[in-house]
């Protein structure tokens, strides 16, 4: 249905309406939809140098390729012009792409940035934002223990300093690793 409306608006010369419709197709969260939209946006972009159209095309291409770096760049661009919802969606997709590529730290950072941007959008719920729901921030205690572990303290030393058992320290560290998408304390120092 969206593509039919796009065809009608293009026939009438209303590129300014067709481009946002194609961008909405990208925002449905399907790579196939993103590829279709990217192809059509590319054809529209041949006849226009509109920055808005170029942004939509970049977003469509990045979604179609699940390119985390390109999605981050598009997200930053959307954010810079005040489009927090589109930025949140791009960062959510970047986080998903980074996670799929095995880049846990990047995924966590992208998902947390997405969640922060989405929070400014008064309860917005879109297909692309569903990826951001996996972002789980560290608790203050997890952050404190991770910081000490990153400084090279052993679990026993951390336990003594914080009046905890070594087992509790290790449990907090395991939770931290899972949230950050890392495998151990050696990656906390990076």
pLDDT in tens, 126-178: 888 875 555 566 788 988 898 899 888 999 999 999 999 999 999 999 988 88
**Residue 16 near residue 34, CB atoms below 8 Å:** no
Element (H, E) at 65: helix 51-65
- Specify burial of residue 20 (Cβ count, 10 A radius: 0-12, 13-18, 19+): middle
> For a pLDDT cut of 90, what percent of the chain falls above it?
51
| pTM of the predicted protein model | 0.72
**Residue 59 near residue 93, CB atoms below 8 Å:** no
Asked whether residue 71 carries a pLDDT value surpassing 90, the answer given is yes
Long-range contacts of 53-57, Cβ-Cβ distance < 8 Å, separation of 24 or more: 53/15, 53/19, 56/19, 56/20, 56/22, 56/23, 56/26
Query: What was the pLDDT predicted at 10?
Result: 85
| Average pLDDT rounded to a whole number, residues 65-76 | 97
Quickly count: other Cβ atoms within 10 Å of residue 1's Cβ.
5
Residue 64 tokens, joined: 């179609």
Residue 85 tokens, joined: 């919802």
The number of residues in the chain equals: 190
């Amino acid at each position: 249905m969206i593509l039919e409306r796009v065809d009608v608006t293009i026939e009438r010369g209303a590129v300014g309406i067709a481009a946002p419709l194609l961008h909405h197709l990208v925002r449905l969260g399907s790579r196939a939809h993103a590829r279709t939209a990217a192809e059509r946006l590319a054809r529209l972009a041949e006849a226009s140098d509109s920055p808005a159209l170029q942004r939509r095309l970049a977003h469509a291409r990045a979604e179609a390729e699940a390119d985390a770096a390109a999605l981050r760049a598009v997200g930053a661009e959307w954010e810079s012009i005040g489009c927090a919802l589109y930025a949140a969606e791009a960062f959510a997709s970047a986080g998903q792409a980074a996670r799929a590529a095995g880049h846990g730290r990047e995924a966590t950072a992208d998902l947390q940035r997405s969640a922060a941007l989405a929070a400014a959008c008064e309860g917005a719920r879109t297909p692309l934002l569903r990826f951001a729901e996996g972002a789980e921030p560290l608790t203050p205690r997890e952050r404190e223990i991770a910081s000490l572990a990153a400084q090279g303290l052993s679990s026993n030393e951390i336990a003594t300093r914080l009046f905890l058992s070594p087992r509790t320290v290790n449990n907090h560290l395991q939770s931290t690793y899972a949230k950050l998408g890392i495998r151990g304390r050696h990656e906390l120092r990076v």
